[in-house]
Amino acid sequence: MPGGVVQEVVLAMLAKEPSHGYELRARLRDALGPVGEAMNAGQIYVTLGRLEKAALVSAEREPGLPDRPDRKVYALTPAGQQRVASWLAEVTWPGPAPVEFHLKLAAAAAGRLADPLTIVDAQRRELLRMLRDTQRAAMAEPDHSAAGLLLEGVALRLQADLRWLEACEQYWITPGSQSYEGIPRGL
| Interface residues toward other proteins, by CB under 8 A | 1-2, 5-6, 32, 34-40, 43, 94-95, 121, 125, 128-139, 143, 150-156, 158-159, 162-163, 166
Length of the chain: 187
Q: What are phi and psi of 184, to 5 degrees?
A: -60, 145
The distance of closest approach from Cβ of residue 162 to other proteins in the complex, given in angstroms and rounded to an integer, is: 5
Q: Pick between residue 41 and residue 113 the one whose CB is nearest to other proteins.
A: 41
Question: To 10 degrees, the CA torsion angle through 135, 136, 141, 143?
Answer: 50
DSSP-derived letter for residue 177 is -
Query: Comparing C-alpha atoms, which of 36, 34, 166 is closest to residue 24?
Result: 36
Chain centroid to CA 182: 36
The distance of closest approach from Cβ of residue 92 to other proteins in the complex, given in angstroms and rounded to an integer, is: 12
The distance of closest approach from Cβ of residue 51 to other proteins in the complex, given in angstroms and rounded to an integer, is: 17
Q: Pick between residue 13 and residue 158 the one whose CB is nearest to other proteins.
A: 158
Q: Pick between residue 12 and residue 128 the one whose CB is nearest to other proteins.
A: 128
Q: Pick between residue 67 and residue 143 the one whose CB is nearest to other proteins.
A: 143
The distance of closest approach from Cβ of residue 66 to other proteins in the complex, given in angstroms and rounded to an integer, is: 29
Q: Pick between residue 82 and residue 118 the one whose CB is nearest to other proteins.
A: 118
The distance of closest approach from Cβ of residue 121 to other proteins in the complex, given in angstroms and rounded to an integer, is: 7
Q: Secondary structure of the chain: what % helix, strand, coil (to 5)?
A: 65, 5, 30
Chain centroid to CA 138: 17
**C-beta separation of 127 from 162 below 8 A:** yes
